[in-house]
């Protein structure tokens, strides 16, 4: 799937530029894309170190286990393949909470940590498990209660009431997340593998 999409983007992009006599844009945009990726990774590097450092303290203090224990039963409904009390549950809880509070910066490191812990339960190294797909469904729809960045953007654009979209955003997020989780559940049933 991802192979096909990647190939599609490149082949169609290059062919389209070539047909329209703008083949030089391919070179530029490929190089600028590679540079953007490094810039993004560099920005991520700082927050990754910061939050995974803080999270290591939380882990060693036993906080993650407490988190997993309190909210685990709800999270476990979504992740039936993850054993009770597994540290991945704690990381998933932290990812979802950070997303809900609109802390995109912290949500990404937590989510990656959760992925790494789910990877430990993965029988094959390179294929995603159903639990990983569910986590991704939760994160791509990014359920948010406090869209702080957007409120700032709206006030900067001169909005009279920048926060008026908070209510509709929460509702929309809920619909998107519920749909993604339903789709994930159906795919999981169809593909049949319930393990992991």
* Interacting residues with another protein between 90 and 119 (CB under 8 A): 101-104, 106, 108-109, 111-112, 115-116, 118-119
Binding track over 112-151 against another protein, x by CB under 8 A: x--xx-xx-----xxxx---xx-xxx-xxxx-x-xxxxxx
- Please, which residue, 38 or 77, has the CB nearer to another protein? 38
Residues in region 42-81 near another protein by CB under 8 A: 44-45, 48-63
Q: Is 37 in the site for another protein (CB under 8 A)?
A: yes
CB 135 within 8 A of CB 115: yes
CB 116 within 8 A of CB 88: no
Whole-number Cα distances in Å, 23 to 6, 17, 50: 19, 5, 42
- What distance in Å separates the CA atoms of residue 151 and residue 162, rounded to the nearest whole number? 5
Q: Which of 77, 123, 157, 192 binds another protein (CB under 8 A)?
A: 157
Please, what is the angle between helix 24-60 and helix 2-19, to 10°?
150
Stretch that binds another protein, among 72-80, 84-92, 176-184 (CB under 8 A): 176-184
CB of 74 to another protein, least distance (A): 20
Instruction: Tell me, by CB under 8 A, how many residues bind another protein.
Output: 105
Q: Is 192 in the site for another protein (CB under 8 A)?
A: no
Q: Which two tokens stand for residue 27?
A: 């070179």
Q: Which of 85, 171, 194, 195 binds another protein (CB under 8 A)?
A: 171
Q: Which of 32, 84, 189, 195 binds another protein (CB under 8 A)?
A: 32
Sign of the alpha-carbon dihedral angle for 190, 114, 109, 75? positive
Q: Is 12 in the site for another protein (CB under 8 A)?
A: yes
CB proximity list for 125: less than 8 A, separation 6 or greater? 119
């Amino acid at each position: 799937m991802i192979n096909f999409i990647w190939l599609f983007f490149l082949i169609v992009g290059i062919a389209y530029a070539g047909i329209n006599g703008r083949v030089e844009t391919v070179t530029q945009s490929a190089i600028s894309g590679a540079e953007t990726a490094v810039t993004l990774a560099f920005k991520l590097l700082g927050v990754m170190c910061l939050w995974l450092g803080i999270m290591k303290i939380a882990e060693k203090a036993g906080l993650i286990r407490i988190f997993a224990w309190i909210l685990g039963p709800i999270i476990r409904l979504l992740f039936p393949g993850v054993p009770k009390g597994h540290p991945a549950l704690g990381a998933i809880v932290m990812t979802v909470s950070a997303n809900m509070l609109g802390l995109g910066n912290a949500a990404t490191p937590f989510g990656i940590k959760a992925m790494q812990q789910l990877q430990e339960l993965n029988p094959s190294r390179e294929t995603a498990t159903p639990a990983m797909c569910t986590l991704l469904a939760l994160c791509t729809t990014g359920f948010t209660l406090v869209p702080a960045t957007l409120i700032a953007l709206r006030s900067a654009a001169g909005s009279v009431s920048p926060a008026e979209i908070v209510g509709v955003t929460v509702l929309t997020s809920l619909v998107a997340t519920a749909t993604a989780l339903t789709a994930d559940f159906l795919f999981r049933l169809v593909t049949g593998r319930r393990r992991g």
